[in-house]
Each structure stands twice: as C-alpha cells, then as structure tokens.
Chain A
Amino acid sequence: MRDEVHLLPKMILEISEAKDFQSAIEVALKNICEITGWNYGDAWIRSSDESVLERIPAAYCSSGSPVKFKELSEKFTFPLGTGMPGRIWLSKKYEWVPDVSLVSKIEFPRAKFARKAGFRACLGVPIIAGDEVLAVLVFLMFESREEEMRFVDFISGAAAELGSVIQRKKAEEQRRAASLYARNLIEASLDPLVTISPEGKIMDVNKATEGITGIPRERLIGTDFSDYFTEPENARRGYHQVFSDGYVRDYPLSIRNISGNIIDVLYNATVYRDENGQILGVFAAARDISQIKQAEEEIRKLNAQLERRITERTRQLEAANKELEAFSYSVSHDLRAPLRSIDGFSQALLEDYGGVLDAQAKDYLTRVRSASQRMSQLIDDMLVLSRVTRREMKRSAVDLSALANMIAAELLKAQPQRRVEFNISPGLVVNGDAELLRAMLENLLGNAWKFTSTRQSATIEFGVKDLDGKPSYFVRDNGVGFDMAYASKLFQAFQRLHLQTDFPGTGIGLATVKRIINRHGGRIWAESEAGKGATFYFNL
C-alpha cells in the first residue's frame, strides 16, 4: 500500500485500453482490490429502465473469499436512496462502515450474507463524470477497520480518473456508433454519393460511386470531380452553383465511366458545414436515370410504331369504308333499275293486254309485280342497315319519351281506324345519336304496332325498369308475341318468325335496332310468350 500512488497511471492505462464500459469497471475493481487489499469489490449501475440499481455481472473476489456472496449479490437490486449503493447514488459521497456485521439490515441490506461470508469493513464510492453518477463501487474486507483517509483518498482518486476515462470512452463509443451509422447510411445508398471540397476535389465517395465510375475509392479521392463527366465545364458550373446558392436540384450531367460508357444522371447537392457554420464542402447525390431515359426512348419508339400502325389501319379501314360506300351507292342505283323494268312492263302488259289475258295470267303478273316491289323494300332496308353501321355518331341528350310520342302519333295518323292505347313514361332522357335512336324506336314501336294488328284493343307501353342497377328501357305490347325458342334468331338480318302473309316485313328491322344499340355500347333482349305479347328491353 506504500507505492499505490505510483500504480495509479498503470491502472488508468489499463482501464483506458478496456474495450468497453463494463470491462473498464472490471479492470478497475480488480486493480483497486489488489493494490489496496480489499477482498471483494462490485459495481452498481442503473438498470435499463432506470428504476433501480443493479450489479454489473463482473465482480472481484480475492482468492479464498466466498463466491457464494458474489452469487447472492447478483440477485439484489437497490431502489435509489436504499442500501449503500442507493444512498451513494443520491448523495454522490463515499460511505465507510467499520463493520457491516454490526449494522442493521436497513442500513446494509446485504448484512446477513456479508456476515456469513465473514466480511467486516466496507467502503462505497461513486464514479462521477461531470455531474452524473455512472456507477457505485462497493468494497468489502474480512477485517473490521475504522475509516482510513489514505484508502478513501486513493480509491476516490482512482474513481475520479475512472469517471473521466469512462466518460471519454462512452463519448467515443457514441461517436464511433454515430459515424458507423452515417457511413452505413452512405454506403447503403444505391445512388452514387460524393463530397467535394471548395476546390472541386473529391473528398469522399461511397460504393455506388465506385460502381458507376468503375474506379476504386482511393483513386477517386483527391481528383477533380469535374474530370468524370462528358462536360467538365458544366459539372464545375454545377458545384459552383451549390457553393453560391447552397444547393442544386436535379442538375443533369453525364458520367463517362472507365469503359467509356455514358451514364445520364441527375445531381442533387447541398453544402455541408462545421459546428460554426463554416462551409466544408458539397455533398452531392447522383441518380442514374439512364434506365429511365432508355425506357422513355423505348416508349417513344413503341408509340411511333403504334402511331404508324394506326395510320395504316385507318387507311385500310377508310379504303374498306369507301368500297362499302361505293357498293351501297351502286346497289341503291343499279339494283333498283331492273326492278322498275319488271314492275313497269308487267303493269304495261296488264294495262295494254288485259283483254287477251286470262285471270291466271293476270294473277301471275300481279305476283311478279309484288315480288319486285318486295325486293325493292329489301334493298331499301339493307341500305338502312348498312348506313347505321357507317354513320358517324353524333351524341347529345335525347328525349326518348318525346320521340316515342311523335312516332305513336305518326302511327295513329297512318291507320286511324285502329284502336291502340299508348302508355309512354315521360322524361326518359339518354345520351346518344338522336337520328339512330329515332330509327331504333321507330322499329320497336312499329313492330309493336304491327304485331298487335289482330287485337281488338291493343296496348303499347314504353317505360324504364331498374335491372341489375342499370336503367333498362322497354317496349311492351299485348300482340301475338313469339316463341322464346326462336329468340336467338330475332336480331339476325332476314330472320322472320312470322309468315309474310300474316305480318309483312323484311326481317331487317330488329337487326338494325341491334346495331344501333351496339353502336351505343348497350344491349338488347326480348321476352315473350306466343300469343301473350312481347317485351323488348334495351340499355345504352
């Protein structure tokens, strides 16, 4: 104990070489006990939730001292202000007990075990850094001993040294952790990051920068930042702008990498400063946009291709449409002329030679005439059907109720002898092509009119119903109806479900209606029972 003061520097050195806080304390406990002759030493720190003090696992036992006490101590915790460690934590002052076997359990909660282990004198000292207690060290020895200043002085001195070493160590640890954290962040970035000095030299780079340039870190650091771009002048202007404005956003540059490949990037950069606000350099992050650019180029190419294809298709379609137009024009003119001859000369025969023809000959000529007139009607209806398809859609708000009323009035005027009741729901307005929708309603209402002709009193209804959340318009009649078995043929051109002699028609009307509905993106269907009328539903 004579040379203990000389041993202090060696101990401090050993402590400062310890790898962390806990092993530093372990070293301190061992050194202090060995130098000053205490048989046992342990240390108390705050638990992680800061509610109590708990012992750190490492404790010192001199050879021959009972390990049992060390093990039992490990299970102890002290609330602040309780027991020796708790009191010292608050008072920040050392305590000396000449003989723990003589004090109460309140004063020294471990007294019973200490007595069993044979411990007597006890010294507790705080390790203080700044204003904060970092730990409380507790030493015990087998002898009973009055307070001795030289022990107290040495241990307090060691504890003070220990405090500053530990504090430095802790700060260092924190700094290292922070620095490692920052470095990891920087390296984790997929974007190439660079710091640039006010002279434009590269000061630091991350892995991504090595990747994009193909040049290792050591060869990048210290070189001119602008050297790695296709337009060095532009790169210099970029970082000068950062120094003058404090930042740049999405500054476009092209990196030329070691293999000569060009990579388009956008730079975002800010200045960074020291604690006094002095600008140290520029922190620049590049974003590789070569893939985006490539994708854009790809999209542009595909668009151009699509455009070309559309133009080609449009041209083909226009040609086909023109052909169709020419065809129907020709049909309209040329198919009709022979029919006029057939009808006209049959009529001439009837008129001029009626006297020499018998009844059967006249009947034949009448049949020829009605057949040619029927064919004329077929041609007209076919032209209407083809016109419905070719016609350009002109959409607007169309009042179906008003149209239905007009059509009903026309039908009643054409055959005033018929007794037909029309029930038309008012205010049914849709968006569509007025002319096409009129043609559609003319067909549906015309059919209802035609197929109720055998009824004494006919009823025709036009209204709307909500089916599957969609407004479904309907035309309902109490006419002859049709057999649902043939419903699928209803909307095909030239398909008829009734005899010409019963109900005249060309079988094109409903095909036209369906095309009109199709052109409006809607659907049409029908329900009926033979003899009980029919209902035609449509939505648009």
Chain B
Amino acid sequence: MDLIEVFLTAGFWAAMIRIACPLILGTLGELICERAGVLNLGIEGIMTAGAMAGWMWVYQGGDLWGGVTFAAFVGASLGLIHAGFTVYLGLSQHVAGIGLTMFASAMSFFTFRMMLPSSTTPPKIQGFQQVKIPGVSDLPFFGDAFLNHTPMTYATFLAVPVVMYVLYRTPLGLAVRMAGENPVAVEAQGIDVLAVRCGAVMAGSALMAIGGAYLTMSAFDAFYFGMINGRGWICVALVIFASWRPGKALLGALLFAGLDALQVRAQQFAGGAIPYQFFLMLPYVLSIAAMVVMARRARYPKALLVPYRRGERH
C-alpha cells in the first residue's frame, strides 16, 4: 500500500474523526477556562475522571446519555475545586492544576478498583453505536468516512459552533472573554469577575470530562489505567496552537488526529524498518513543534494566570 492510497480509504478519515473527538472536547474545555483567565492543568485528571465516571454509570446499568451527563457533572465538580483554589483563594494555577490532576486520577483509579476489585481484563460496555443518517450515510466513500459515526461524535462537532456562538455572540461570552483580558473592566460593569471565572472553569472542566468519557463510551468501550496517556497535555498544547480560538482549535485537533491516524498506518508499511516507538513519539513531538510554530504569533489572554482580588491595583 502506498502512502497516497491511505488518503483514499474511508477508514483513514473515519479514524481521524474518532481520534479528534476527545481532543476537540478537551481543547474546547481548556480554551474556555483560559479565555476566562484560568490555566487548568487539572485537565489530564479531569479527563481520566470523566472516562471512569461515564463508563461506570453505564456499567452499573445507566443509560448512555445519563453517563455523559454524569461525566459532565463529575468534571464540573472537579472544576469547582480548581476554581475554588485558583479563583477564590488565588493559589498558583500551575501548582493547583497539577495537584488536581493527581487527585482526580488517584480517586478515579481507587473508585474503579473498589467497584471492580478482581478484574484482570477490563470489562466492556455496550457503548454508543454508529448511527446511519438516512440517505447520506450510504454515499460511497464520503458516507463511510464522515457520516457513519456515533451520536457522541456528531454532538462533539456540534459543540464547536455552540461554543463559538456563546463565546463571541452572547453577553455571557463577552463577560468570559473580558474576565480573561481585563477583569477590572468586568467589575466596572457590575459583573462578579470571580463568579464568571468560576462558571467558565466549571463549564470547561465538564467538556474535558466528556472528552474523557468519549474514549470509554464511544471508542474503546472499556476503562484502562493510564488510558488518557497525555491527551490532556496535548489539548493544552493545542489551545496554544489555536491561539485561543475555537475554530482554529477544531482545525488543530483534526490536523493532529489526521497525523496520528496516518502514523498508525505508516507503521504498517514501514515494515519494521523504523521502530514503532518513533511513530508513537510523533504526537508528542508534533505538539511541541506546533507550539514552537505558533509561539511568535500567540496572543495570550492578558489576565491569564493572574488571580483577581477585588479592590487590588492591577
């Protein structure tokens, strides 16, 4: 098989969409937090917790969308913890985020072990199934590649315009963006900066958790230890790559997922000439490269990492 032929197979494009979804959700979540001025390094742990929570809900007999809602609820709760530390107490966002990742991961693993004490092979659930859209899903190539996915996948792609609309076209979105640029101006409008930031962090964290849940409910149908495997950190890099814009975040996640899907296929016809570890390194190396490329043009939200204390000079 030739490398060019890969692009002509529907399987490649379908895989790209699948790989992109958790990244899109995680990147949007991180983007919302950072737009409000709060770096959320709890993302890796929040995604782990979301993956566990959504899966467990279904494993215990709940329905699929209930699982997604539960994952979002767990994510928002963890977001509330992060907001409590960074927004209300003004602790270092780096340190609190890393602490939260440790806490959320440890709690997820502990809970998983408690509820399934003796499982060697992770049990599977009946996750989201592919849904054909009448008429269009049967189109040759195009249908298989783009229109034969799970409801969660469609919902993920719907989330991008929704986030864009809320951030750029509503007063709420304006308040969120201003809280990350010029919190004093928000205060001057009589809006509670801390509440806006807290809400943004909770909403963003809920999205991250759904991103984690995508992996266990729409991709692997099982929960593994260490299954997030740096995806959260890659999302943090993608936010920088996207210069804090949801549309570019979607593009970045798709590009990244495309390269990841390509990497898996390239392994096969590298025929062992290049060890597989170097292919597996690609996503991480690419994330670093993406940040380097965009670094010069990056326009950070001005109040990112700066805690807001009412009445203090800024």
Do A and B bind? no
Residues of chain A whose beta carbon lies under 8 Å from any beta carbon of chain B: none
Residues of chain B whose beta carbon lies under 8 Å from any beta carbon of chain A: none
